[in-house]
Chain A
Amino acid sequence: MENNYIPVADPGTSQIAPEEKSRTPFQLALGRFLKNKMAVASVFILFIIVSAVMAAPLLTDQDPTKSNLLLVEQSPSAEHPLGTDSSGRDNFARLLYGGRISLIVGFSAMVFTLAIGVVLGAIAGYYGKLVDAFIMRFADMILILPFLVLVLVIVAILNKVTIGIFVTIIALTSWPGLTRIVRGTFLSLREQEFVLGAKAIGATDLRIIFKHFIPNAIGPIVVNATLMMASYIIVESALSFIGFGIPQPTPTWGNMISEAQSIRILQNNPEAWIPPGLAILVTVLCINFIGDGLRDALDPKSLER
């Protein structure tokens, strides 16, 4: 019966496995993340995109904001690999420099939202009671209107939008989702005994929040931050596309696609608006895959994988 064959330990090797150095949670998570092929490939592709937009001055010597009204809506040529837009600006340079703005807007809006969302969520979840009720009702109020509608109304009131204002509007209108998550985690952590222990040895509130609570909530925070950045890149491009985002001539991927609102460019110059669209698509796909990878990797319940 071959199935019942019991392997006999090879006398040459030790019966006890060599003492393995215990791995930190971070190393375990990294190991799980590296096993996710899509996520690793996405990190690689995103790295290429980020390098390309950061190295923009090396890859093109054109100025992305300089108009040349004698050379509008040109087809691709050696000098302008993706042609020129309706104001005679070089599309290839705008694709690279626009990527910078789109990624920077997405990233800084994410960091700003993260700051507001985590701080308010931490306060609400840690102190509970009246503070909690106040913050969460405020969050509910912001969540009543769809994010896009609220942003558009504020843009309409402000009349003038710069990159800084844009990032601020996004952060001030989109923190409630993250706050809810952080608050939920904190509320459950608050009741655990190690908190009592920490308080008993005289730990301050700040120390408990930063040393004990945030590390415990880091998984959902990181995953949500990643996915938020992807959605902010889409929001920036959508608002710029309909003309209420970052104003021209600043290049962004959304601004480049908005050129295609002219049926002439849509029809005759697909090389002007398809590349920025694909750039958004690929960037967002990569960030989403990385987010999914992080979700699996940072989930403490998936210790086996």
Chain B
Amino acid sequence: MYKYIIRRILIFIPMLFALTIIVFALLKAAPGDPFSQILDPDIEAGVLDEQRAAAGFNDPIHVQYINWLTSAVKGDFGDSFRYKGREVTEVIMDRIPNTVYLGLFSLLITIIVAIPIGIYSARHPYSLFDYAATGFGFFGLAVPNFFFGLVIIYLFAIQLGWFPSQGSISSTSLTGMELFTDRIHHLILPGLTLGLASTASYMRYMRSEVLNVLSSDYIRTARAKGMSERNILYKHTLRNAMIPIITLFGFEIGSLLAGAIITEGVFNYPGLGTLFLSSIGNRDYPVIMAIAFLLGLFILVGNLIADILYSIVDPRIRYD
């Protein structure tokens, strides 16, 4: 197991380098640099070129890459084009908490909804409830999340007026408990939207895993020795059925983040996703690339943790 974990971490390092190379290549492919944003007519043409050279823009490409990498490691991604004079890191840090709240909240919804339904479906396969759940699963994977978001805004925010349709808080003056409930209130609709697809897929995974375990020999043995259905479910079935589900969370982080970009756009929710979209609109390349790098990093780390977790909970796994 330790051998596997070490080898898995060793693979992580070249992947991380690959990510930095991709992001750097995309950054170089993007037109313009910080100096092309300066449109002050008083600056002589030659001065900008001198400054470009001083800032290292004429250096060989590998030197530029190493310079970029060393500052990126320190968390320095340069200054934003759009938010004048503000560092990219600072602009991004402002938005991270909101996206984390949204991601965790939708994950919570997914767990609360998908796991019990999946278990119930597996225990009563081909029942009316199971068919309804399967139908919901197909729907959840086929509906575009932005359209689902619009529909629930239309129903619950506009027609019924239960939830706000925009933003993450209603006022900056709120504190303590009020702020907390206000945040939750704003999170419900975007959380449902972001969680829909993953709820549908976890439900299907959970159902098939539990069905799989329930048909195994040791469950029959447990039944034969007279164990109660309750104990069979909680002590024997779920423990094994949950293994692949837990690790799935690590692998799903990519689709969760991609979904968050669109969901935040629909609800105008001030997180990383809306920052990413507005930066693309403004062609604010330093911010775009830093976010892309950050998302790639989240995914690599998520996959790494998932793989390691999997090797811990399921000792049969071997790397080859």
Binding site for B on A (CB under 8 A): 137, 140-141, 144-150, 152-157, 159, 230, 234, 237-238, 241-244, 257, 260, 263, 266-267, 270, 273-274, 277, 280-281, 284-285, 288-289
Contacts and interface: CB of A to CB of B under 8 A. Distances in A.
Interface string B130-155: 00000000110111111100110110
Contact of B257 (A146, A159, A285, A289): A146
Contact of B154 (A153, A156, A266): A266
Contacts of A144: 15, 18-19, 22, 296, 299-300
Given A144-B15, A144-B296, A277-B151, A237 B26 contact: no
Contacts of A244: 277, 280
Given A147-B258, A149-B296, A277-B143, 10 more contacts: A148-B262, A149-B261, A149-B292, A152-B277, A230-B142, A234-B144, A260-B150, A266-B154, A277-B150, A288-B138
B277 A277 contact: no
19 contacts: A145-B22, A149-B292, A153-B26, A156-B30, A156-B283, A156-B285, A157-B26, A237-B144, A237-B146, A237-B147, A242-B277, A243-B281, A244-B277, A244-B280, A266-B153, A267-B154, A277-B143, A280-B147, A288-B142
B288 to A, nearest CB: 6
A146 B150 contact: no
A284 B153 contact: no
Nearest to B300: A144
Given A152-B261, A244-B280, A266-B153, A146 B299 contact: yes
A241 B153 CA distance: 16
Contacts of A280: 143-144, 147
Interface string B253-292: 0110110011001000000000011011101010011001
| Most B Cβ at <10 Å: residue of A153, A157, A277 | A153
Nearest to A141: B18
Contacts of B26: 153-154, 157
Contacts of B262: 148, 238, 241-242
Given A146-B299, A152-B276, A159 B258 contact: no
Interface string B141-174: 1111111001101100010000001000000000
Given A141-B22, A145-B292, A288 B146 contact: no
List 9 A-B pairs, minimum CB-CB distance, nearest first.
A277-B147, A148-B258, A146-B258, A284-B142, A156-B280, A285-B142, A146-B254, A141-B18, A157-B30
Contacts of B281: 243
B29 interface: yes
B295 interface: yes
Contact of A263 (B165, B279, B288): B165
A149 B22 CA distance: 12
Given A148-B258, A257-B146, A288 B154 contact: no
B213 to A, nearest CB: 23
B150 to A, nearest CB: 5
Contacts of A285: 138-139, 142
Interface of B: 15, 18-19, 21-22, 26, 29-31, 138-139, 141-147, 150-151, 153-154, 158, 165, 254-255, 257-258, 261-262, 265, 276-277, 279-281, 283, 285, 288-289, 292, 295-296, 299-300
Contact of B147 (A150, A155, A257): A257
A145 B288 contact: no
A140 B255 CA distance: 17
Contacts of B280: 152-153, 155-156, 244
A179 to B, nearest CB: 17
Nearest to A284: B142
A266 B26 CA distance: 36
Nearest to A258: B146
B255 A267 contact: no
Given A140-B15, A156-B288, A281 B143 contact: yes
Given A141-B18, A156-B285, A266 B158 contact: yes
A159 B300 contact: no
B265 A242 contact: yes
Contacts of A149: 257-258, 261, 276, 292, 295-296
Nearest to A237: B144
A153 B254 contact: no
Nearest to B153: A266
Contacts of A145: 19, 22, 292, 295-296, 299
B292 to A, nearest CB: 5
Nearest to A286: B142
A241 B144 CA distance: 10
Nearest to A260: B150
Contact of A157 (B29, B138, B165, B261): B29
A199 to B, nearest CB: 28
A215 B261 CA distance: 40
Contacts of A140: 15, 18
A280 B141 CA distance: 12
Contacts of B255: 146
